[in-house]
Structure 1
Amino acid sequence: MKRNLILLPLLLYFYSCASAQKVVESETPSEIKTEISYFEETSLSRLRDELNQIFSDPNFSNAYWGVVIQSLETGEYFYRLNEHKSFIPASNMKLFTTAVALIKLGPDFKYKTSVYTDGEIKNGVLNGNLFVRGSGDPTISGRFNNGDVIKTFKDWADSLKNLGIREINGDIVGDDNYFDDQYMGTGWAWDDETYWYSAHISALSFNDNCVDFEIRPGKKIGDTAIVLLTPNTSYVKVVNRVLTVHRDSTTQIDFFRIPGTNIINIFGRISLKTGSYKESISIHNPTLYTVTVFKEVLESKGIKVNGKPIDIDDTNLSPNYDEMKVLASYESPPLSEIIKVINKRSQNFYAEQVFRTLGKIFGGEGSTQKSVEVVKNALAQMGIAPESISIYDGSGLSRLNLVTPFQILTLLNYMYRQEYFSYFYESLPIAGVDGTLETRMRKTKAQGNVRAKTGYVQYTRSLSGYVKTLDGEIVAFAMMVNNYLVPVSTANMVQDIVCQRLANFSRTK
């Protein structure tokens, strides 16, 4: 790095290109000793100069960057800028959630959701209630079932039929008491609640707590659009105000779910040339949603249900599961696969479910408060002081989260040396290949090389992870920018250029 030279004019003339000096005061004020240290410009010093120029981009004059880059082999810092300042991390928060989950739960951890009964089976009739007991599992969906969102429910129905059950004289009760009832994260924006990325948190969940919409144009201009739902359920009421427009018009569609209800308004227009428009919209009360769709599947399989789907919170029931029969169950994929969904797809719902699970298992309560305590205690073991980091959720959707680039680097450094590093590393998006980095850094040395977690909420962009240099040296980096007003693509470009420069860096050139 270039340093100011405090030299006499003559010495400055001779040594400005190849030397740096420091002035040292002796015990006697009148005596001044000057030491001149010679150095050659290195590839690392050139890299630092380039990074200084990159992060001085005038497009971000009203914003501020926080950056730290370190060799994980030598410990040498390649670059530091505001690394101890606090930033809103956005989805870089998922790095903390998934790292702690791997360490505390292990990569082989699995959720289990079971169907119990408090009744007896006689002559093909179950006289009693069915209880679906949730454990926080986020995976009951089509994601791990080849797109069949109701496969788990169909399997449960088959299990009941194999037990000879053809009719149920009782209710289908959803038990979500493994977690508390705070269904949104602290600091989440109310006007995001409609959308998939703000799906409700619940110990009993199904299909990411969303309904999936496919909207197609009508046959002619002016026709109301065709709306298809997955699952095809009576749980939501759709108000369709989307009209079909000329082929030359653009498609613009938006949604609004009335808070506290499952009335979903769709409005806008769809062009005749649009094949289909797809979106996932959150539902209210995931527990009731789960047991409603389960009841619908049971009936479609020929099992008559004389009761109703109901949330256990709306009953006086206190089931003793130790004394009840298990009729069917579902086991999730291992945590190593779950964190891939969290990090590669930046899936907020999965992150929040895992976050609450940590609070329940290690703090005795599936609440935000206990989850924060568990995560902070784990981070303390990594060298991150609990009082120096602000955590309000597990996904990064809250704008109340505050972390420093150095804390992210500390986490990345710590995980690099842990036995579960390969699971953590493999969960991260790969530049130009998959996840949220699929379309970035293509046709560069960074493609297939950079493994990093993206982060975005309005006016915030983050990218943190690992890259190998041209020499094969592995480097960890954290880049965060807050308060910018330029397009997100401009922030992406800066981060991508830095990653490309690191991927092309060599100490010998």
Structure 2
Amino acid sequence: MTIAARLGLALALLVAAPVAQGRGMAEPALDAILAPLPAGARIGLLVVDETGTVVAQRNADARMVPASTTKLFTTAAALATLPATDQPDTTGGASVSLEGAGSRPDVVLRGHGDARLSAAPDCTVDCLATLADAIAARTRRVGQVIGDDSAMADERWPSGMSWDNMATPSGTAVSALTLDDNIALATVIAGAEGTPAKIEAPVGLAVTGTVMSVRAGPVAVARSTLPGSDRWQLGGTIPAGSNLRVPLAVADPAARAAAVLRAMLVARGVAVRGPALARHRLGTASPEPTTLARLVPPPLADDVALTLRNSQNLHAELLLRRLAPSGTVADGIAARTAALAPVGLVPGSVSLYDGSGMSTYNRVTPRALVTLLRWGQAQSWGGTWIGGFPVAGQSGTLKNRLRGTALEGKLRAKTGTLLGTQALAGVLPTADGHTLAFAVLVGDLPEGTSATAVVDTLLLALAGL
């Protein structure tokens, strides 16, 4: 069925079964909208108006994989419990200190859970270069450069995350010391036809392999690594005269950050005798010495919005760990549960093992998501929270969805996607001035199928537009 036909169906069904004033959507109308779902797919949904009156539901209490709608729980807890999220982040920024006796002290770069530290050449805020400048201004001779992420436990990937996601930019390792979203760029520069292209490895990672330069055709460069490794292999072809930047997920972010800082110091004329190393937590975190310089990143509320808008997994995992002083996943999960106790979630309706939704162990009911949405809207920070959601047809993970429809620029919702799972939860306005809170979770989607068109048809019918 074409998009136009689906929209026509939505309008016809709306006339037959209006949703305004709490009358709800008739089951036959809902059945007709959901009928095109792929065979074998399971769906759970709940839609309520601002009074809590049910407008539409189907398997509202089914426990389903929430994917990235998990971030709604993590970000709500962060806004509810972390202090001064609307002020500069004085506790999260990276710092440097000079440690050890003698004329060549070691440089120690410490992370404290800030997700936004950058080494980009055009960086203007929260820049690693600022710390490199502070070191170069103090001394011209140093020993080792140590990346220390012991402010948080060394738990780099969520429990239940698929191993094949670990090597992708969406599954990069989690660390208290994070740089450039823990993604490094390798550069492939094509040579003459029939010759191997030049491969430039990013600082701190090893890259091998052969990419051949060919006369014409699309770029076809594959990347591979073992889970937990920072040794990569590239292969494939690239058209002669072109170049390509290949994003590589970092497995040891502290080591990578130390290597980049070391290179920055050398570029500033600092004589660095020792190597770049990583220092991870063994047991509990030790007290920190006096720092030479420390960065103060922008407000955490800004990062919450970025996490929601772009579905940034690394940032969500760091927010979870920052909920507890210990910086462990288990304590972060416990702190999130405690922070959301006032929501009144039905026991057993939420089982979450991470902060981002990458874990396949997670289970949530549509009713739990809608209950969270309604509670969050009523909080003092609710406007900030909802304001960070992707907007249909305009921003984030909804930028290309519902574009050109009457919901463009109006629907705000968090997406969720894993293999076999599609989810959407948020708020939408209706034609008669109501605001609906909704959650739609679709699971067990057969390979190569999608529920997006069906869900969008449902949303348009609900909005009455």
- TM (norm. structure 2) is 0.88
Give the secondary-structure state (helix, strand or coil) at the position aligned to 1:91. helix
Letter in 2 for 1:284: A
CA deviation after TM superposition for structure 1 residue 227, in Å:
3.9
What is aligned with 2:96? 115
- Mapped to 1, the partners of 2:181 and 2:240 lie a distance apart of 30
Give the secondary-structure state (helix, strand or coil) at the position aligned to 2:408. coil
What is aligned with 2:39? 61
Tell me if structure 2 keeps the 8 A contact 1:445–1:504.
no
Letter in 2 for 1:378: A
The 1:65/1:147 distance shift into structure 2, 3 A limit, reads: farther
What is aligned with 2:146? 173
- Mapped to 2, the partners of 1:152 and 1:46 lie a distance apart of 52
What is aligned with 1:52? 31
- Mapped to 2, the partners of 1:314 and 1:90 lie a distance apart of 29
The 1:224/1:471 distance shift into structure 2, 3 A limit, reads: farther
Q: Does 1:500 align with 2:465?
A: no
CA deviations over 1:34-84 (Å, ceiling 9, x no partner): xxxxxx976226844433211122x43311100111112x32211010010
Tell me if structure 2 keeps the 8 A contact 1:185–1:392.
yes
Match of 1:263 among 231, 253, 256: 231
Letter in 2 for 1:138: A
State the aligned residue count.
443
Give the secondary-structure state (helix, strand or coil) at the position aligned to 2:173. coil
Give the secondary-structure state (helix, strand or coil) at the position aligned to 1:369. helix
What is aligned with 2:313? 348
Tell me if structure 1 keeps the 8 A contact 2:188–2:199.
yes
Match of 1:328 among 285, 288, 293: 293
CA deviation after TM superposition for structure 1 residue 386, in Å:
5.3
The 1:257/1:51 distance shift into structure 2, 3 A limit, reads: same
Match of 1:78 among 19, 40, 55: 55
- Mapped to 2, the partners of 1:315 and 1:392 lie a distance apart of 23
Q: Which stretch of the first structure deviates more once superposed, 283-292 or 255-264?
A: 255-264
CA deviations over 1:338-375 (Å, ceiling 9, x no partner): 112211111111111111111x33xxx22221111111
Letter in 2 for 1:136: G
Give the secondary-structure state (helix, strand or coil) at the position aligned to 2:236. strand
What is aligned with 2:439? 478
Q: Which runs of no fewer than 5 residues in structure 1 stay unpaired?
A: 1-39
Tell me if structure 2 keeps the 8 A contact 1:119–1:129.
yes
- Mapped to 2, the partners of 1:314 and 1:348 lie a distance apart of 22
- Mapped to 2, the partners of 1:492 and 1:314 lie a distance apart of 43
What is aligned with 2:9? none
- Counting only pairs closer than 5 Å after superposition, residues 33-432 of structure 1 correspond to structure 2 as 43-44=18-19, 47-48=25-26, 49-57=28-36, 59-72=37-50, 74-106=51-83, 107-108=85-86, 110=89, 111-119=92-100, 127-141=104-118, 147-148=122-123, 152-163=127-138, 165-168=139-142, 170-220=143-193, 222-228=194-200, 232-233=202-203, 235-247=204-216, 249-271=217-239, 277-313=244-280, 320-321=287-288, 324-358=289-323, 360-361=324-325, 365-385=326-346, 387-432=348-393
Letter in 2 for 1:178: A
- Mapped to 1, the partners of 2:282 and 2:162 lie a distance apart of 31
- Mapped to 1, the partners of 2:18 and 2:281 lie a distance apart of 67
The 1:276/1:88 distance shift into structure 2, 3 A limit, reads: farther
Q: Which runs of no fewer than 5 residues in structure 2 stay unpaired?
A: 1-14
Give the secondary-structure state (helix, strand or coil) at the position aligned to 1:461. strand
Structure with bigger gyration radius: 1
- Mapped to 1, the partners of 2:150 and 2:33 lie a distance apart of 51
Tell me if structure 2 keeps the 8 A contact 1:452–1:463.
yes
Letter in 2 for 1:304: A
CA deviation after TM superposition for structure 1 residue 476, in Å:
0.9
Give the secondary-structure state (helix, strand or coil) at the position aligned to 1:202. coil
- Mapped to 2, the partners of 1:278 and 1:407 lie a distance apart of 42
Give the secondary-structure state (helix, strand or coil) at the position aligned to 2:440. strand
Give the secondary-structure state (helix, strand or coil) at the position aligned to 1:371. helix
Tell me if structure 2 keeps the 8 A contact 1:405–1:478.
yes
CA deviation after TM superposition for structure 1 residue 196, in Å:
1.1
CA deviation after TM superposition for structure 1 residue 203, in Å:
1.2
Letter in 1 for 2:234: I
CA deviations over 1:166-218 (Å, ceiling 9, x no partner): 112x3222221111112111011122221111111111121212212344544
CA deviation after TM superposition for structure 1 residue 388, in Å:
3.4
Tell me if structure 2 keeps the 8 A contact 1:129–1:171.
yes
CA deviation after TM superposition for structure 1 residue 303, in Å:
1.1
Same amino acid, percent of matched pairs: 28
- Mapped to 1, the partners of 2:417 and 2:396 lie a distance apart of 14
Tell me if structure 1 keeps the 8 A contact 2:126–2:295.
no
Letter in 2 for 1:238: V
Tell me if structure 1 keeps the 8 A contact 2:187–2:246.
yes
CA deviations over 1:365-417 (Å, ceiling 9, x no partner): 22221111111122222111454321111111110000001100011000110
- Mapped to 2, the partners of 1:278 and 1:493 lie a distance apart of 33
What is aligned with 1:8? none
Letter in 2 for 1:345: N
Higher relative contact order by CA 8 Å / sep ≥ 6: 1 or 2?
2
Tell me if structure 1 keeps the 8 A contact 2:125–2:297.
no
Q: Does 1:437 align with 2:374?
A: no
The 1:147/1:499 distance shift into structure 2, 3 A limit, reads: farther
Give the secondary-structure state (helix, strand or coil) at the position aligned to 1:479. strand
- Mapped to 2, the partners of 1:151 and 1:167 lie a distance apart of 25
Tell me if structure 2 keeps the 8 A contact 1:441–1:447.
yes
- Mapped to 1, the partners of 2:370 and 2:158 lie a distance apart of 25
Q: Which stretch of the first structure deviates more once superposed, 209-218 or 343-352?
A: 209-218
Letter in 2 for 1:166: R
